Structure 1
């Protein structure tokens, strides 16, 4: 199995990730009701791919405030510790089912760091 190398690889992970998230009744509310992300997935995937490209490949281009976006949702519909764990499990699965290597590990570490910071900030 190869490592994450391109935006196309990131998009594969994101699509697999969202396929599983949207099927998961314990968390899909945040994507279908709280944020309505599911109504324009391709646009959302493009934004997410830019975010991950910036983190993994130092490409730049992401200008949204990711923490504020999630804080706004949390303020209306609080995330629990379990929601973060479910989110991480789905993302880790989407990564490990397709890739292995330094960038795959880096993406998992970045996700864990983001979830940890959000849990602390949103208390």
Structure 2
């Protein structure tokens, strides 16, 4: 039987397990591995992000939409919807391997919404850039 996401340690395990998969993935790993220089700092920041969203606490500081736009620009506007699909599938796989319950389901739905939102932000930034 799987356990529920109950505390920050659970979120940290989820984030770390997920990014182990992401970093090894042939389709999306390079976006992360060639961008993130301090993985420990990044994992802590992402743990803050997910903890803030799953437990409704005010820990996360950042602009993730802007960060995704910058990564897309770094990679010559090559991030596509399929990349977000790979990311989302890995996230759901990781959750399903580790957790169950209401917060696990919320983490899945939030990730789906984030993927769509970030993809749209990237697309809109490209459109603005092309108008300049």
Q: Map 1:14-93 onto structure 2 (within 5 A).
A: 14-33=15-34, 35=35, 37=36, 39-77=37-75, 78-93=78-93
Unaligned 5+ runs, structure 1: none
- Which whole-Å CA distance do the structure 1 matches of 2:33 and 2:39 have between them? 11
Unaligned stretches of 5+ in structure 2?
124-132
TM-score, structure 2 as length reference: 0.86
Q: Do the aligned residues in 1 keep the contact of 2:68 with 2:122 (CA within 8 Å)?
A: no
Equivalenced residue count is 120
Deviation at 1:121, TM superposition (A): 2.1
Could you tell me how far 1:88 is from its partner in structure 2?
0.4
Greater C-alpha Rg = 2
2:5 aligned counterpart, secondary structure = coil
Contact 2:22 2:28 in 1 (8 A): yes
Counterpart residue number, 1:105: 105
Contact preservation (8 Å) 2:65, 2:121: no
Q: Where has structure 1 moved over 4 Å in runs of 4 or more?
A: none
Give the alignment's Cα RMSD to 1 decimal.
Answer: 1.0
